[in-house]
Amino acid sequence: MNYQMITTNDELASLCDVTCDAPAIALDTEFVRTRTYYPQLGLIQMYDGKNVSLIDPLGITDWAPMRALLLNTAITKYLHAGSEDLEVFLNTFGIMPEPLIDTQILAAFAGRPLSWGFAAMVEEYTGLAIDKSESRTDWLARPLTERQLDYAAADVFYLLPIAGQLMKEAEASGWLPAALNECRMTQLRRQETTDPKEAWRDISNAWQLRTRQLACLQLLADWRLRKARERDLAVNFVVREEHLWAVARYMPGSLGELDSIGLSGSEIRFHGKTLLALVEKAQALPEEALPQPLLNLMDMPGYRKAFKAIKALVQEVAAESKVSAELLASRRQINQLLNAHWKLKPQNGTPELMAGWRGELMADRLNTLLEAYPQ
C-alpha cells in the first residue's frame, strides 16, 4: 500500500496546508496504554482521498497546523469506533476533531451490529480480508515495521470510501440526524472527567462500607486519582482498587497492618505513610462531615421490575421506529436513568435515554413509566 511518512514539523505543516482543501478525511490513531493513565500516541493515520499519510508524533514538536486542521469545520472527519481515538486527540492536542462522524455509529443506524468491527465492515463493502494481527503491537517502538505501517495505512484507506456509502445509507433510512446526534454525544461523553472528590463512588463494593469507612474511601480515592494523573500512571499501578477498599474497610493504624490486609510491598513502601495519614484524617472527621451511606442500585426494592419495564418499553419503541433495541438503550443507560430517578448518584446533565434522539422517541413514555416506581 502506498503512503507517505510525516516525521518533521515542516512536513506536517505542508501536509495540513494541502489537506485543508479536502471535503473529508479519514482519521485513526495507534497508541499504547499499558501502565499509563493517559494514552501514549504512537501514530496518526490520515487519508484525504488522494494520499495516505502516516504521521510519526515522536519527532514532531509543533502541532499547531494539526490542531487547525482538526478544528476546520469545512472538513468532515471520519473515524471508526473512535471513542478511544477521541481521548488521544483530547489529551495530545487539547481538542477534538470537528465535525466528527463515527462510521461504527453510522453503520448501527443502517442496521449493522452495534459493535461492528472495522475488518468486518471492510469485508462486507469490498470483499477484502484485513489483517488485524498488528493491532496490539508496540506502537512506540522504532523503527515501525513495514507490516505495522501497512496495517495502519489500511485503516484509513478503506475507511473514507466506505464512510461515503454509509452516509448515503443513513440518509436514505431517515436516521442520519440521529446518527450525527449520537456522534456528538460520544464526543461529549469523552470530554467528561471524573472529579477526584467523586472517585470513591466508582470503587466496587463501596456500598458495603459504613459512613466513616466511606469518608476514608473518599479521601483515599481522591488522593489516588490525583496521584495517577500527576504521575501519568494507571490508577491500579498506584494502589490496586481492592487494596484501597480494604484500607477504607479496616482503617489500619500501622505499616504492619497494611501488610496484613494484603497490600503489596511496593504499595506500602511508596504510599504506606500517606495511606495511614489519610486513615487518621478520616478517623478525626466529625459525624456531620461523613457522607451518607451508599445505596446499591440493584438492591433497590423496585429495581428488577423497573428495569424489566424499561426494557419492554425499549423493545416496543424499537419495533415502532425500526431501530435496534441494543442501539436504543444499553444496560448502562437504563441504570443511569434509574440512578437519576432515585437520586442515588450525582448526575451530570440529563440521562442519555431522556436526551437527543432517544429522548425524542421515548422521554414522555419513560416519564410516565417511572411514576410507578417512586423513590
- Among all residues, which ones are annotated catalytic? 28, 30, 85, 151, 155
- According to DSSP, the residues that pair with 52 across neighbouring strands are 47
Give every strand in the sheet of 100-102, ordered side by side.
4-6, 52-55, 40-47, 24-32, 76-79, 100-102
| 3-state DSSP assignment of residue 204 | coil
| 3-state DSSP assignment of residue 63 | coil
From its phi and psi, is residue 111 left (phi > 0), alpha (psi between -120 and 50) or beta?
left
99 preceded by cis ω (within 30°)? Answer: yes
Instruction: Give the C-alpha separation, 311 to 290, whole Å.
Output: 36
Please name the residue that has the C-alpha cell 505513610: 273
The CA-CA-CA angle for residues 255, 256, 257, to 5°, reads 90
C-alpha distance from residue 259 to each of 203, 248, 263 (Å): 21, 14, 5
Is the separation of the CB atoms in 247 and 216 below 8 Å? yes
Is the separation of the CB atoms in 179 and 106 below 8 Å? yes
Question: 49, 85, 63, 89: which is closest to 11 by C-alpha?
Answer: 63
Return the C-alpha cell found at 296. Answer: 446499591
Instruction: Give the C-alpha separation, 103 to 108, whole Å.
Output: 8
CB atoms within 10 A of CB 190: 18
Is the separation of the CB atoms in 74 and 52 below 8 Å? no
With a CB cutoff of 8 Å and minimum separation 6, the contacts of 14 are: none
| 3-state DSSP assignment of residue 192 | coil
CB atoms within 10 A of CB 361: 20
